[in-house]
A and B are shown apart, each in its own frame.
Chain A
Amino acid sequence: MSVPTRDEIKDKDRRNFMKLLGVMIIGAGVAGTLRSVVQNIIPPIEGGASSFPILTLYLPNGNPVSTDDLIVNNPQTVTFNFPLENEPNFLLRLGDSNNKDVEINPTEVRIPANNTKYKVPGGVGPYKSVVAASAICQHLGCIPPEIHFNPPSSSSFPGKIHCDCHGSTYDPYSGFGVVTGPTQAPLPSVVLSYDEKSDSYSATLLVGPTIYGHSSDLTGGSNITPSGKTTVTTTQ
């Protein structure tokens, strides 16, 4: 074997230096790729709360919602988010066809999907006529204005919550139970509490099936900030 010349040794060193540079450059690219892929596939801890917050309902002008702010059989849709930012709920003050408050009694509601029952507390407020429930249709997740409350005076589905997407109908007078399909589950009811002294309403809990599109009522969205209050919105 011949002894390598100085030039050959120099060439080899240069070649190795180039290879080292290559490892650095391509390594940087690989590191950037691996880092993003690994960080991406780690399942995120879903935003949410560990327990139901108690949120007082506020008007957009900053005052708490009082009984007089709620219109009996309001044809407009009034919603508030609870317990998370992306979970809207109907806020209804129910009345009869003469727009006189109707007292809503506690009731038992059946879930047709698995044929189980759960208890829904009655209305709150001075006339026990204010109720609330999730405004996300349990069939395929349509939200207002597709799903909306028809006042008792309207011609189609009077006194019912009807979803225009596929025709699911719920009865707000008896715990938002299923009237017609295709939905197989009632709307989850919000348990409201009423403070007589300050004439204000708070959302405290959800009962019934899980809100559509969420793995539990408390996950899959972000918390409502600032804590302790949620603002109602009114749409046509």
Chain B
Amino acid sequence: MTKENLIEKLMNEPQPLPRKVPDYMRQKGGIWYWTGAMIMIAFFYEVMTGVILFFYYQPSNAYISTENTLHIPYGTVIMTTHLYGAYIMIALVYIHLLRNLFVGSYKKPRQVQWLTGIVLMILTVAISYFGYSMTGDVLSADATDVGRGIANGFPVIGSYLSTIFLGNGSDISLFSRLEGWHIILAGSILILFAVHFFLAEYNTIMPSAKETGFKVPAIDKEEPSYKAWYPYNLLYMVQIAFFTIALIFIIPSLLTILPNVPALFSPLPQVAASSPLASSVPPYPPWFLLFVYKELDFQVSTSLGPFWAVVLFTGLPLAYLFAVPYFEKKDTLKITKRNIVVSTGVVGLIYLFGLSAWGALDPGIPVSNITGLLFFIIPLAVVIPLIYYLANRIELGKSSLGENAWKVYAILPILGFISILTGISVYSVIVYPTFYNYTAMIILLVILGLTSLATFALVYGVNFKTPTKKLTDKGHLVFGSIYAFLAIAIIAIISVMSPTQITSQGLYGVGMALLFTLAGAFVKLYRSHAFKE
């Protein structure tokens, strides 16, 4: 019998859509099965706000039309949440990727799903780059300059690529193209997302390790006890959606109200590129590209040129991610038996965090080959033996990690990152013993201590679980009434605020975030009341 290929299988055995899922995916800790759903919600939020922003964006007048949007009723709310919705979407993409890397869901039968996921990540970063550059402010000018430098370095067709993506040099051509690519990429993400989603339905959501006994292929077999999609899963999705949107609202709205937000995190456009004040703004790329930015400062990058440096420093990790499902084919999902993938994942995270922080603190300062090499070698030399040692202990039953294993692996990169920061801070205290540096060092040492303690507690199997009390029937009604009272009060307060003042728009955004939080909390309450979930 010949083996059917994926397309034949998809076409000839249509799958039920949407699939029913087991109850534990909607209970405490079940959120890890829905990181993809959260990305989808953020993406749809981006599409909706993006379409509204197109009413006012003029490529011929990019900077002024962007600035004017802030003074159109609720324009600040829509524009800042569009920016931060993208930031949150990218953060969620990274989280989704790492979660799936560590639990091993790239394995059979989900290889193609994993590949589409990596492509979706590249598209998401690309669309964010184009969107970020559309404002026409000084940061956008810096970003397009760096982009031109990288594109021009492409052998033979570099100058064509540069003009295809970033225009022929005039402003109108640049901003029309940024706008065009921004939409084209949104469409591409939508199409590829549909494929990714359909594959997820086809392969089923990967069940918990308890169900599969760590055996590949991990497929969820539908059982009669599974509850109907409507209303159980739908309401759960609505709950996640409300909380995700609340998160998208709260961060930029608070940053809009706060004074002196650094350029890297400011939700508002910076000064125009032609303004005399432009030189006072540090030339930052968006935070999710800070690591590329620092890589370009390395001595080896300077001699290679920007294009080959990007190929080396981002192409290699991407090629590795594409290859993961094809070289790591053991039929076990145990995290302790996948040391190569796990340790490279942890080291990669340390590089990512470390380079980003470095780029933010020391933008544009060249790094010698030796320093660069040390930066790459030290985490590698520390983490790989550590992971092997940990895995070995767990396997021999000397550590009762069990359920907590993935938490340990998740906390390790954070620990590494904080160690790097603390190291830098101790060094700066030795070189410049100022009050500010001492304060920073003490705070970082405390954080390092706490994180080490948490890691230690996880490794030696301390249980953090606290008993939860069930609400009574009347308790539900009381809490529901309190939520409703708060919601009515908030909508009453924010409805009288000026829709064009930037700070009052920030407050409106905070109010909306609270409303969405209340809505999410209410759906949770309702599920507990009606379904006892």
Contact = CB atoms under 8 A, between A and B. Distances in A.
B171 interface: yes
List 4 A-B pairs, minimum CB-CB distance, nearest first: A36-B74, A28-B491, A28-B487, A39-B73
Interface stretch (A10-18, A50-58, A64-72, A167-175): A10-18
Given A37-B74, A40-B72, 9 more contacts: A24-B487, A28-B518, A28-B519, A29-B518, A36-B73, A36-B78, A37-B52, A86-B64, A141-B61
A4 to B, nearest CB: 17
B530 A18 contact: yes
Nearest to B60: A213
A38 to B, nearest CB: 9
Contacts of B61: 141, 213
B70 to A, nearest CB: 12
A17 B46 CA distance: 34
A94 B88 CA distance: 57
Contacts of A43: 55
A29 B64 contact: no
Interface in A5-50: 14-15, 17-19, 21-22, 24-26, 28-29, 31-33, 35-37, 39-44
A27 to B, nearest CB: 8
B72 A44 contact: yes
Contacts of A25: 483-484, 487, 515, 518-519, 522
A143 interface: yes
B170 A166 contact: yes
B529 interface: yes
Most chain A CB within a 10 A radius of its CB, from B72, B171, B477, B484: B484
B170 A140 contact: yes
B499 A36 contact: yes
Contacts of B73: 36, 39-40, 42, 44
A200 B72 CA distance: 38
Given A24-B488, A25-B518, A32 B494 contact: yes
A40 B526 CA distance: 33
A85 interface: no
Contacts of A86: 64
Contacts of A29: 242, 487, 512, 515-516, 518-519
A142 interface: yes
Question: Could you tell me the dominant secondary structure of chain A's interface residues?
Answer: helix
Contacts of A36: 73-74, 77-78, 499, 508, 512
B480 interface: yes
Nearest to B171: A140
B264 interface: no
B125 interface: no
B172 interface: yes
28 contacts: A14-B476, A18-B476, A18-B480, A18-B526, A19-B526, A21-B480, A21-B481, A21-B522, A22-B522, A25-B483, A25-B487, A25-B519, A28-B491, A28-B519, A29-B487, A29-B516, A32-B491, A32-B494, A32-B512, A36-B74, A36-B508, A36-B512, A40-B73, A41-B55, A44-B72, A140-B170, A141-B171, A213-B64
A213 B483 CA distance: 48
Question: Could you tell me the dominant secondary structure of chain B's interface residues?
Answer: helix
A210 to B, nearest CB: 13
Contacts of B526: 18-19, 22
A140 B484 CA distance: 53
Contacts of A31: 491
A22 B242 CA distance: 13
B212 interface: no
A219 to B, nearest CB: 12
Nearest to B61: A213
Contact residues on A (Cβ < 8 Å of other chain), bracket: 20 to 34
B495 interface: yes
B75 interface: yes
A35 B495 contact: yes
A39 B364 CA distance: 43
Contact of B515 (A32, A37, A142): A32
Most chain A CB within a 10 A radius of its CB, from B60, B473, B519, B523: B519
A22 to B, nearest CB: 6
A39 B170 contact: no
B277 to A, nearest CB: 13
A146 interface: yes
B47 interface: no
A15 B171 CA distance: 59
B116 to A, nearest CB: 32
Nearest to A86: B64
A28 B522 CA distance: 12
Contacts of A19: 526
Contacts of A143: 274
A24 B482 CA distance: 12
B195 interface: no
Interface in B227-246: 242
Contacts of B55: 41, 43
B78 A15 contact: no
A25 B519 CA distance: 6
Contact of B477 (A14, A24, A32): A14
Contacts of B519: 25-26, 28-29
A29 B239 CA distance: 13
Contact of A28 (B64, B77, B242, B490): B490
Interface in A118-150: 140-143, 146
B511 interface: yes
Contacts of A15: 529-530
